[in-house]
Structure 1
Amino acid sequence: MSTRFVRSRGFTLIELLVVIAIIAVLIALLLPAVQQAREAARRSQCKNNMKQLGLAFQNYHDQVQMFPVNYARRNAAGVPGTSNPQLILDSGRSWITFTLPYIDQSPLYKQVDIKAGSFIATAPNWPLAQKVIPALICPSEAGNAGTLSNRSDIGGATLFGVTNYKACAGSNWNAGLPGWNPVSSTKGRNAGQTDGINLGNGILCSNQQNLTPPTSMRDIKDGTSNTFAMGETLTNYSQWNWWWNPNAVTATCAIPLNRVLKVPINIADWPNNYAFASHHANGGHFAMADGSARFISENINLTVYRGLATISAVEVVGDF
């Protein structure tokens, strides 16, 4: 009895190429969907970060009856927020520093040496300033820029923690172009759209000492649901983005959303180079003064956008 062997037939080269082509097409079809799903998750987490910061603003206000400030004055107990000239000028605390206990960063806040002087100019607090705080970083930022940055004003290799979220200083011009220096005046909250960020007609401004006292709920004449408290920014669009530096944690709505102007390092008007922008398509997240978080379209009417940035200009913003 003879035995017959049957040779199994394998793929031909053409068949193999066809299979590879089909797999490539499937990957090409599925990859955008996967990327969109991931970005949707990152966008949702970013909105949650903004929501938590908005609530931190509210909780801080509930405790001290005012919103956090920059360049705050404080008393001997370290309580910030008074404009009494007899009290100590605390010239190096950002509003984010004051809200650390409300974003699960109490251990970090307790290490801050209030008597050591400015975060900006003194080394004792610098190790704290080098910390990356997850609640301050948009998940979409990690793939676009670092979460640490060196200080462009002093140079050196030391890296400091940055933030994607900045408080709204109002609708003042702050593009940072040469010649657009802050206006030196006593306008305070009456600052207009062509005045500098150091004045500010929003909930918080860069240099909040005497001209612009701390903001409270009663100061927001435009309504808390119609007023921006903070919004998103891109860390690689500004040379000033450290969470601990009061000069680096505010932005305004003078420039349309997502149309940020890059500026050179250490130009004369460095306080004025911030605008809002995000890595998300078609807009960015903002926290309102009532603690809610909203996604604002980059196509929003510029007059409405600037109106949402002020606290008491009594604009009629309508739906947005």
Structure 2
Amino acid sequence: MIAIIGVLVGLLLPAVQAAREAARRMSCSNNFKQIGLAIHNYHSAYKKMPKHGTGPIAVRAIGQNWPKERDFQHERLSAQVALLPFVEQQALWEQISNPLIVTSGSVTETYPAFGAIPWNVVAQTNNYSTDWTPCFTDVTTFRCPSDPGYGLPLGGRSNYGVCYGDAIAHMHLGPYTTWARNVRADSEYKAAARGCFGLYTQTAFRDILDGLSNTICMGENNSDLGDEHITTSPRRGGGVSNNPSNCSGQVEASRPQFWRTSPHKNNFVETRRGACWAGVTMGWTMCNTILPPNREVCATGHNTAGGGTWTVSSRHQGGAHVLMADGAVRFITDSIEAGDDSVGPVEFGRTGARAPGSASPYGLWGALGTRAAKEVIDEEF
């Protein structure tokens, strides 16, 4: 009798687990639909999509450079902050958009409207920002129920990020050099920022010439669990701008979902994937369409907070959700046709297949990420 019960449990348990995951996947899709509706309502109100990289500019600045005050986040807020009133989070929006006075023990801190720098909040490295709680608030609409990540060291986790397109250049700078805006930086940025969203700039539906139903607006991503997963803990690949699969050699062959190498010394907590829905950092709330879903994240530069291959990922089996610009949610499989991942992306000053305005070198996947490259999409995805 016990043996029979054991066999029945063994047969039923996988079915129950599959049914639960199916329900979680449907809930994730519904969250994305809510975000899509919020984007459309925002666009109806303001004739633009929300800006990724927004917030007040501090009073003291150095010429045209970004401000330096620690108590101002100076354009470090994500597009999701602007969407709060449109996803039934008006109370949280009011808390963020107004000055906040916080008392902790004998210390009272007064934060300006829109708060402190989000990544200082998450890293908890500075006393002045550790008590600014709005960034730590979990917003259910921004979370996939299949993702088990919860709580510190990340704060206010997010499983959805805006799509930059099929490029890497200026993903972490927008139309700036390291500190200032100039004509060349503007040109380099415009050549690379081919997706629905850029950084520190706004786009509108009229800019999406490839069609709202053919263009990815946002993508799903895992949040970091501290297990050095290839989709959540970035590794550094100095040549990734010319070879997007540059970090693939660091993957553990016997455990292909995890890294073989140790994190880079500058792989700070706040660079981990999905760390904070309120922040603008690439790993937190951005993605691109270079490597196919659930491939490794590989960053450029001297630390892992820079641009790179921040592809979509999920805890669902076999792929990840994307939100199309028309509000539809599609599930993209890991096997989607993605061109040649050894070829560098389109970039200012390049020729041939990498020349500005060229069709994406990353096949159907790359074409879905661009808003105006005029690729014809005539196949199912």
The CA deviation at 1:262 is: 6.7
Q: Do the aligned partners of 2:49 and 2:202 also contact (CA within 8 Å) in 1?
A: yes
Aligned residue for 1:221?
209
The residue type paired with residue 299 of structure 1 is: S
Work out whether 1:235 is the aligned partner of 2:232.
Answer: no
Q: Do the aligned partners of 2:116 and 2:132 also contact (CA within 8 Å) in 1?
A: no
Aligned residue for 1:5?
none
CA deviation vs aligned residue, 1:204-229 (integer Å, no higher than 9, x gap): 13xx23xxx31101100110000001
Q: Distance in 1 between matches of 2:333 and 2:210?
A: 21
Q: Do the aligned partners of 2:73 and 2:117 also contact (CA within 8 Å) in 1?
A: no
Aligned residue for 2:135?
129
Aligned residue for 1:97?
81
Aligned residue for 1:162?
157
| Amino-acid identity (%) | 34
Count residues in correspondence.
260
Mark the runs of 5 or more structure 2 residues left unpaired by the alignment: 58-65, 67-71, 99-111, 121-127, 172-176, 179-183, 225-231, 234-271, 339-362
Aligned residue for 2:313?
277
Work out whether 1:190 is the aligned partner of 2:191.
Answer: yes
The aligned runs of 1:45-194 (5 Å cut-off) are 45-72=27-54, 90-113=74-97, 115-116=112-113, 118-120=116-118, 123=129, 126-142=132-148, 146-150=149-153, 159-173=154-168, 185=185, 186-191=187-192
Higher CA-based Rg: 1
Q: Distance in 1 between matches of 2:278 and 2:55?
A: 16
Work out whether 1:203 is the aligned partner of 2:191.
Answer: no
Q: Distance in 1 between matches of 2:117 and 2:335?
A: 38
Q: Distance in 2 between matches of 1:67 and 1:280?
A: 28
The CA deviation at 1:263 is: 7.0
Q: Distance in 2 between matches of 1:91 and 1:125?
A: 20
Does the residue aligned with 1:98 lie in a helix, a strand or coil? Answer: helix
Q: Distance in 2 between matches of 1:119 and 1:74?
A: 11
Q: Distance in 2 between matches of 1:217 and 1:134?
A: 27
The CA deviation at 1:315 is: 1.1
Name the CA shift for 1:28/1:124 in 2 (closer, same or farther; >3 Å): closer
The CA deviation at 1:317 is: 2.0
The aligned runs of 1:25-44 (5 Å cut-off) are 25-44=7-26
What's the TM-score, normalizing by structure 2?
0.62
Q: Distance in 2 between matches of 1:214 and 1:275?
A: 22
Q: Distance in 2 between matches of 1:309 and 1:68?
A: 18
Aligned residue for 2:334?
298
Q: Do the aligned partners of 1:260 and 1:277 also contact (CA within 8 Å) in 2?
A: no
Q: Distance in 1 between matches of 2:129 and 2:378?
A: 48
Q: Distance in 1 between matches of 2:97 and 2:79?
A: 16
Q: Do the aligned partners of 2:299 and 2:306 also contact (CA within 8 Å) in 1?
A: no
Q: Distance in 2 between matches of 1:125 and 1:243?
A: 17
Please provide the CA RMSD for this pair: 2.9
Q: Distance in 2 between matches of 1:166 and 1:99?
A: 13
Aligned residue for 2:103?
none
